Amino acid sequence: MATEVKIPAMGESISSGILAAWHVQDGDYVEKDQALYELETDKITSEASAEVAGIISLKVAVDDEVDIAQVVATIDTSAAPKSERPSDVSDSGSGSDSAPEVAAPTPSKVDPVATLSPAAHKAAEETGVDVTQLAGTGKDGRVTKSDILAAAAAPASTAATPAPAAVAPATPKAAPVAVDPSTRETRKKMSPLRRKIAERLVTATQECALLTTFNEVDMSSVMKLRKQHQEKFVERHGIKLGFMSFFTKAVTHALQAVPAVNARIEGNEIVTQHFYDIGVAVGTDKGLMVPTIRDCDQKGFAEIEQDILGYAKAARDGKIQMSDLEGGVFTISNGGIYGSMLSTPIINYPQPAILGLHNITERAVVVNGEIVIRPMMYLALSYDHRLIDGKEAVTFLNKVKDAIEDPSRLLFGI
């Protein structure tokens, strides 16, 4: 009995995807719950597992576009694993039904001269290359024009007899070098996720009045707190205290203080949001994903760190769900982990703003009239100027800066 392997439904907005990889080969015996394939859509990349055990027959190839509910393979549940199948060959001497051994045919040697194409024959005459000394790269070992031109361009043998000293050697005419276009560039079809990212970025730049404002933040207090409480934090929660939880709480604090940043435009209406679901950008091999940390105003540092770690792992493993990527009101993007000093991030449309974090570097700054060395980070807030005025943007960014430089503000909500 054959069981069909179909592309499952993945949300109302997803109707198709690209079968990015098969984890099994045609004719393999697969176990129940074994990973079969990887599917890329314009939202997520996910894996599918076998619902039954048996011999699998693949119906589509890698990089094929497939629709929801399309049959991509069948599994023969009546077939046994190879190790349990009876031998196809009888033991020697077991009877007259044994099939005689047939010797493999010996391939005939290709005559390099007789099999030359007209173009290759002309190239051989012009270059003087002895085609009988070449190993052909064409079908059935045939010598091609490229083989001849490559041989002509190769350095002459050192065993050649030098010309007499009294006679100036003739300068040989440079033979054209064959260039394989496939070695100079490669072409690959854009994945649905990359196409969607490109589409959203273009939409953001075309639909919004983008503006970026900058500030810098002294990371001394946060770094001191982390160092002071890291050991106890790990002991209690089983996870390290990172910078992202501080910035997530700081952004939540700033959104509460400046409600205009926690809004969006829909047609001719401004929709103000009264919840604090913060998106955290995660870089993966497939592209950028932005899982959403829900209700950040109600969560502690440990819960936020757990959510960020779990979503990042799921995104990189291709196991993140559609619901994990929806509904954010604001995004934080940390380019500092890649060494970025400064950037102007593009908003995650239709969200109104995004905060870009950058690398931490020790710089000379003036504190209380004295020049001191402090670990500093540049902050960049890109926002939709149609909705957010400069005063509100600067106030929001200052709230984030104040909360990071004095984390006790987060405790007292000031």
Query: Which residues form the catalytic set?
Result: 385, 389
Rounded Cα–Cα distance for residues 141 and 362 (Å): 63
Q: Which strands, in side-by-side order, build the sheet including 45-49?
A: 45-49, 35-40, 16-22, 65-67
Cα dihedral 225, 231, 237, 240 sign: positive
Unique residue bearing structure tokens 């006790």: 408
Distance of CA 267 to the CA centre of its chain: 34
Check: CB of residue 265 under 8 Å from CB of residue 387. yes
Rounded Cα–Cα distance for residues 58 and 71 (Å): 9
Rounded Cα–Cα distance for residues 294 and 328 (Å): 8
User: Which residue type is seen at 44?
Assistant: I
Q: Is 357 exposed, middle or buried (0-12, 13-18, 19+ CB in 10 A)?
A: buried
Which of the 8 DSSP states describes residue 375? E
Q: Which residues pair with 332 in a beta bridge?
A: 280, 355
For 356, the token pair is 């870009």
Nearest to 355 by CA among 287, 307, 403, 414: 403
User: Which residue type is seen at 207?
Assistant: E
Cα dihedral 62, 65, 68, 74 sign: negative
Residue 46: strand, helix, or coil: strand
Unique residue bearing structure tokens 């102007």: 344
370-384 and 361-367 beta bridge pairing: antiparallel
Rounded Cα–Cα distance for residues 307 and 328 (Å): 14
